[in-house]
Structure 1
Amino acid sequence: MTSITCSGKPRTSREQSMPWPSLEQRNDERGSRMARADLLLALVESGAGGDDLAFRRAAEALIAEENAKKHVILASQLADALTRRRKPGSNVSPLTRPQESAGLLHETEPMRRLTDLVLPSTVRQATADLVEEHHRRDLLRSHGVEPRHRVLLEGPPGSGKTTLAETIATEVAVPLLTVRYEGLIGSFLGETASRLDALFSAVRIRPCVLFFDEFDAVAKERGDTHETGEIKRVVSSLLLQVDRLPSHVIVVAATNHAELLDRAVWRRMQIRLSLPNPTRAGRIEWLRAWSARTGVRFGKSERTIADRLSDVSYAELEDFARDVQRRQILDGFDADPSSVTDRLLNMWVHRSRPVSDG
């Protein structure tokens, strides 16, 4: 039976061998066309109407879209043109050139996948939902809705906050940009706020995950009487900059001390996730997954190891597993894995610990 296309013409043999696109794919393609049309319309309307801020945002979104498509030369040319465009008397900051933001960000290529992580089911689902929103952002935008892009992660050290930020970047297929506080925080009045402006200006035109580790260092509660007026101005500037970021920049803020964060931070974060220390079941699951992924055998049951390392974080558990792998390589792969693991377990159980406040 001959297959007929929507136009009434018979499909060729090559077309017949190709599956029909699903309803979801057709909706996404339609959404992509509508979103780009809306973006171009906004660009022309804001330019013709003299709305400098709206023009800037539309242009930044267009540049980010070209960056996402790997049209690097065109994106660079558009960014240069936008950098040169500055209306007299405009209060919109010009784009920051890359050299002006040097030292403020550390860029890495993310590698971790969501399937590699052991997470509470609610955290895993929330992360998967966020990733889907960004994969299908054109469909959302065709309905006038933006994907969520502000995430707060809180939990004890080593609970996987940095790893989850990297995972989000991997799954969305964008670079991970980590804020460098040593380059951001200045000693002179107004210096930090100025550098914040340069940092956010540099990231606005590229799809990325912007990661703030130890977010409480720059987003402390402004009602704290022990903090200086300068810190309070920095927090106000930071929150304003976060508000202005387009949705193609996913801000992930992590903290070990959620109680120190300014209350306005909580209101701005669209997704707030708690990452606890691993349970016994979580440790067992992580060890099994790591062994399957690397091919390294412990020679002991994961339950035994999890019970011996009852007070470790996920980060420490990975350190232990790496120690076993390293030792097996040095001892030779004909060495008994059980004795290697036993030796390292004894060392880990008797390792130094931080002195408690009590």
Structure 2
Amino acid sequence: MARSDLLLSLVSAGAAGDQQKVRTATEALIAEERAKNHNILADKIEKALSSVPVSSSALLKSKRVSGEDKEAVLEIEPQIQLDQLMLTLPAYESGRQLIEEHVRADVLRSHGYEPRHRVLLSGPPGNGKTSFAEAIAEALAVPFFLVRYDALIGSYLGETNTRLRRLFDYVRTRPCVLFFDEFDAIGKERGDTHETGEIKRVVSFLLMQLDQLPSYVVTIAATNHAELLDKAVWRRFQMRIGFPAPSNSQVKGFLENITSHWPNKPKVSMATISRTLNSSSFSEVRDFCQNVRRRQILGLGELSVDESLRIELDLWKSRIVPRDIDGDGFEQTPLEGRSR
């Protein structure tokens, strides 16, 4: 049985003669039934909608989903939970609010509101943007779709827009979380004189498609270079959440959480390690801890966790890092003592 809020929305839209709302509510109803594997009923509703001249809809133009329609997305089974992430309070509260709005969407719709469904995440790499998007999908129990740019960006005129259309046609058929990583790759500033006219057309088309997505498709875009995004792109996103680099205290807490699951707790303090790993992302800290455990495991009991830590810390201090100045190349320098 369809949700009561969708039926009420459909009836009220029909009574008011709101064609756009009729189409949106009906598409939400179709997606709801397909999510329950009620494909026969969904097909009948889709056929009924296509026989009525409501408005043009990408959903009606594509009766069946083909492999070509979904080639630009990679479906990942969400496993990460929001409470497992090390987030700033604003990011955590924003995520919790977003989940509540979709879980209780019927309450919002009964008052004439839709849950927010376009979210922009901004911050340096390795600090939880992708994990945050996956956690939202896990909490809502919907598919998590990661956009594949290699299958989306075409080399011929108009090819990228065609693939974008197929992508949006596919994702709007069911409730899901659609995640664009490195969003600045296709959402660039149209005023940039170095960009071609093709990129500008892609951005314009992308904005139009984002506007037309129904609220049951949660679109999350992440970028490491927010300054490169087109100004109109910012306006499309109802929630904008920052993911800054972690402080030393946050790294210390992250280390304590990871090492608490180790069979042997290190003697060296986590505060000391966090100072050595200064200016690191959460991803880098996790990789460091995994390297310590790998070295200890392969030592077959002859290497203590503290000795393994000492070796990895020495290697960390001499690792290759990107230069902090403009230009090409890399420099090999200890990370400790570098300015943030």
**Closer/same/farther in 2, CA of residues 226 and 144 from structure 1, 3 Å limit:** same
Distance 2:256 2:66 in 1: 43
Distance 1:150 1:104 in 2: 19
Letter in 1 for 2:42: L
**Partner of 2:46 in structure 1?**
82
Question: Which 5+ residue runs of structure 2 have no aligned equivalent?
Answer: 327-340
Match of 1:148 among 116, 122, 125: 116
Residue 119 of structure 1 aligns to a residue whose secondary structure is coil
**Closer/same/farther in 2, CA of residues 334 and 114 from structure 1, 3 Å limit:** farther
**Closer/same/farther in 2, CA of residues 144 and 180 from structure 1, 3 Å limit:** same
**Partner of 1:4 in structure 2?**
none
- Report the number of matched residues: 320
Deviations 1:174-223 (A, max 9, x none): 22101111111111111111111110110112111100001011111111
Distance 1:80 1:109 in 2: 29
Deviations 1:118-143 (A, max 9, x none): 11111111111111111111111121
Counterpart contact for 1:109–1:175, Cα < 8 Å:
yes
Distance 1:54 1:36 in 2: 11
**Partner of 1:185 in structure 2?**
153
**Partner of 2:311 in structure 1?**
343
Higher mean C-alpha displacement, 217-226 vs 295-304: 295-304
**Closer/same/farther in 2, CA of residues 298 and 62 from structure 1, 3 Å limit:** farther
Percentage of pairs with the same residue? 45
Distance 1:321 1:84 in 2: 57
Counterpart contact for 1:112–1:163, Cα < 8 Å:
yes
Displacement after TM superposition at 1:268 (Å) = 1.2
Distance 2:285 2:299 in 1: 21
**Closer/same/farther in 2, CA of residues 50 and 243 from structure 1, 3 Å limit:** closer
1:92 aligns with 2:60: no
1:162 aligns with 2:162: no
1:36 aligns with 2:6: yes
Match of 2:81 among 113, 126, 146: 113
Deviations 1:309-334 (A, max 9, x none): 11211111111111122223222357
**Closer/same/farther in 2, CA of residues 340 and 115 from structure 1, 3 Å limit:** same
**Partner of 2:199 in structure 1?**
231
Match of 1:276 among 244, 264, 269: 244
Distance 1:193 1:147 in 2: 27
**Partner of 1:300 in structure 2?**
268
**Closer/same/farther in 2, CA of residues 332 and 43 from structure 1, 3 Å limit:** farther
Q: Normalising by structure 1, report the TM-score.
A: 0.82
Asked which structure has the greater CA Rg, the reply is 1
Alignment of 1:302-317 (within 5 A): 302-317=270-285
Counterpart contact for 2:176–2:216, Cα < 8 Å:
yes
Match of 1:60 among 27, 34, 37: 27
